[in-house]
A = this chain, B = another copy of it.
Amino acid sequence: MKRDERQQAIMDLLVEQGSVDLDDLATRFVVSKMTIHRDLDELEQAGVLRKIRGGATTEAGTQFESDFRFRERRSGASKDRMTTEALKLVEPGMTVMVNDGSTAAVLGRRLVEKRPLTVITNNAAVIDALRDEAGITLIALGGTYSAKFNAYFGVVTECALERLRADIAFISVPAVSGMQAFHMDDEVVRAKRAMQASATQSCLLVNHARFDRTALHKLCDLTDYAAIITDDTPSDAARDALTAGGVTLTIAN
């Protein structure tokens, strides 16, 4: 392994873990601590990390934390667990819908594990990932591109969904309160609703930290979902509301 590769690997670890340990890196890459010191010095010079005693961390408050890649990987482990659970609902040959959002993007990429499949999505990250995959029939829902959500929305998207049918739709939301799911954007809500209407069943993916939150627009009742998957145990209040409503929550571990 060469110098450049090692430094790239260090960056990857940093993005994943938020910090790295010097001794650990030396052991992992089978080089001396001095070499790691030099690597970290160079990376610090490049402005992508901050050296601390015994290792390095991502510089707080820089462009790094707001980087799309960063956020995506930061909570990568929990998304992996959630998507692993979601993939159990998919069988080869099915037609699957995937909505916008970074969790959905991770799921979309992993759909290759279940091919052959037909995948319908408005998520630009999923489109990019599956475009050239053999065994995946990719149907992109057009629409007006939104840089904020890295996906396509609008009348074109909704009209396309009216004409399509899927076996299952994977929906993710940033806010769940009581027995309802929410989203801050009107257009996004319409797209998600249209997906759910065109799918035989729907599955909700939601981060455990997103319980007990609301947003401007109500999406739907949680009873509309055949399955609800989260990454960790939510608050007692949230759990009580769900059991009272007769909804089963799958916690991916």
Task: State the A residues within 8 Å of B (CB).
Answer: 4, 122, 124, 127-128, 131-132, 137-145, 147, 152, 154-157, 159-160, 163-164
* B138 with A160: CB separation less than 8 A: no
For A138, A140, A160, A163, the residue with the greatest tally of chain B CB atoms inside 10 Å of its CB is: A140
A147-B160 CB under 8 A given contacts A140-B152, A142-B142:
no
**Within the assembled complex, what's the spacing in Å between the Cα atoms of A144 and B142?**
10
CB-contact partner of A160 in B4, B124, B131, B160, under 8 A: B160
CB nearest neighbor in B for A144: B139
* A152 with B144: CB separation less than 8 A: no
* B147 with A156: CB separation less than 8 A: no
User: Which 7 A-B pairs have CB atoms at the shortest separation, nearest pair first?
Assistant: A142-B142, A138-B145, A140-B142, A141-B142, A156-B160, A142-B160, A139-B144
A159 partner residues in chain B, CB cutoff 8 A = 159-160, 163
Task: Kindly provide the distance from the CB of A132 to the nearest chain B CB, expressed in whole angstroms.
Answer: 6
A164 partner residues in chain B, CB cutoff 8 A = 156
CB-contact partner of A156 in B124, B155, B163, under 8 A: B163
Q: What is the total number of copies of this protein in its complex? A: 2
* A156 with B138: CB separation less than 8 A: no
CB-contact partner of A154 in B127, B132, B139, under 8 A: B139
* A131 with B145: CB separation less than 8 A: yes
A144 partner residues in chain B, CB cutoff 8 A = 137-139
* A139 with B124: CB separation less than 8 A: no
Q: List 6 A-B contacts (CB under 8 A).
A: A131-B147, A140-B143, A142-B143, A142-B156, A142-B157, A159-B159
